[in-house]
A = this chain, B = another copy of it.
Amino acid sequence: MSRVSGKTDRDRDLARLGAAIRARRLARELSQEALAGLAEIERSHMGKIERGERNVTMLNVIRIARAIDCKPSELLADADL
């Protein structure tokens, strides 16, 4: 795997995870700001996570999953990860 395709894979993985978070958030009728507050994550960082622009840490994935009342493993499975 070349570095270029590696980067693309990573971007795609993070984008899929972000989309899964966004879908669960919307299903819960939460604003991004509300989710950021519940998860205790800074709002602009939350936006970047949802857009797949940040390599989110495990503890933040756990915080986000709990805030939207699902298991972190379910969130990853939603993203086909």
Residues of A within 8 A of B (CB): 10, 13-14, 17, 55-59, 61-62, 65, 71-74, 76-77, 81
**Which residue of chain B has its CB nearest to the CB of A10?**
B59
Asked if B57 contacts A57 (CB within 8 A), the reply is: yes
Total identical chains: 2
Task: Please give, as numbers and ranges, the residues of chain B lying within 8 Å of A62 by CB-CB distance.
Answer: 10, 13, 81
**Which residue of chain B has its CB nearest to the CB of A76?**
B73
Distance in angstroms from A19 CB to nearest chain B CB is 14
Q: List 5 A-B contacts (CB under 8 A).
A: A55-B58, A57-B58, A72-B81, A73-B73, A76-B76
CA distance A55 to B65 in the complex (A): 16
